[in-house]
Amino acid sequence: MGTDVAKLSISQAWEETKAVLARDGKLLGSVALALIVLPQTVGGLFAPRSPAEAPGYVWAILLVATVIGFAAQVALNRLAIGPSTSVGAAVRRGFARVPVLLGTMLIVIVALFVLLLLIAILLTAFGLIVAPGSGNEPPLGVMMLLVLVTLLTFAIIQLAVPVAAIEDGGSLHLIARSWALGRGHYWRLLAFVTAVLLCLVLVLVAGQIVFGSVVAALFGPPSAGSLAALLSSLVLALIQASFSVVSAVMLARIYVQLAGGGGVQASVPSSGI
């Protein structure tokens, strides 16, 4: 007999998300401010307008901000899943699981690279695409294929974050568990991650255009270390943090349903260390 597949209701996850945010929004917001807004603002402040101009220390800052961002996602999921835990314990859990989560992402990236390489070789062999010359950018079709395959893969692998938050095991366990949980719910998970990414991109672009124009008019074009760069990066970091909190809580509640605890509500976290 086949294994029963847990039911998934995106609307139920959204209702639970609103309840968690109404109850624990301040604690979740404090985690986002410390682990998302602050690192992203610092990274944006020193980032040059052109990546080619970035000195080594800027890449180091951005790398640290990325690692802290992974810890933030795990911590937010841990708080939203329950059972009750302190913010300090959730943050420690986040940093403790960063190596495993990074290992998971590395495995997925390598697998995607191999898959895309094979697809590109086949398309080139059939004359559907032309291999780029040395130093030239890949064709637009190849870049679109890369984005599409990455999005299709992330529909399942996004579950690795709540799995890392609440379960033990290494990178391979995160991948296997994500696959087991997402099996039978692929299109709902794809719709969820697509909607989140599209909304984030649209709001970030709108914020950059509107607020960026105001900042440039008042303080001049943003350059590394300038007040304009600080204000711009702060606003974008706040937008990103807001989306991160909402999407993390909703992903956590999706995980609870898929793991067989759809009736369990996230416990109130403690602000203690």
Residue 267 lies in a domain: no
Residue 183: inside a domain? yes
In a domain, 268, yes or no: no
Number of domains in the chain: 1
The answer to whether the predicted template modeling score (pTM) of the entire model surpasses 0.75 is yes
Taking all residues of the chain, what is their mean pLDDT, rounded to a whole number? 84
Instruction: Confirm whether 146 is domain-assigned.
Output: no
User: What domain range is 84 assigned to?
Assistant: 10-47+55-108+158-258
Q: Is residue 177 part of a domain?
A: yes
In a domain? residue 40: yes
Do the domain assignments include residue 218?
Answer: yes
Residue-by-residue DSSP string for the chain: -PPPPPP--HHHHHHHHHHHHHHHHHHHHHHHIIIIIHHHHHHHHH--SSGGG--HHHHHHHHHHHHHHHHHHHHHHHHHH-S--BHHHHHHHHHHHHHHHHHHHHHHHHHHHHHHHHHHHHHHHTTSS-PPPTTPPPPHHHHHHHHHHHHHHHHHHTTHHHHHHH----HHHHHHHHHHHHTT-HHHHHHHHHHHHHHHHHHHHHHHHHHHHHHHHHH-S--TTSHHHHHHHHHHHHHHHHHHHHHHHHHHHHHHHHTT-TTPPPPPPB---
pLDDT bracket for residue 1 (50, 70, 90) = very low
What pLDDT, in 10s, does the model give residues 220-271? 777 777 888 888 889 889 999 999 999 999 999 999 999 985 444 445 455 5
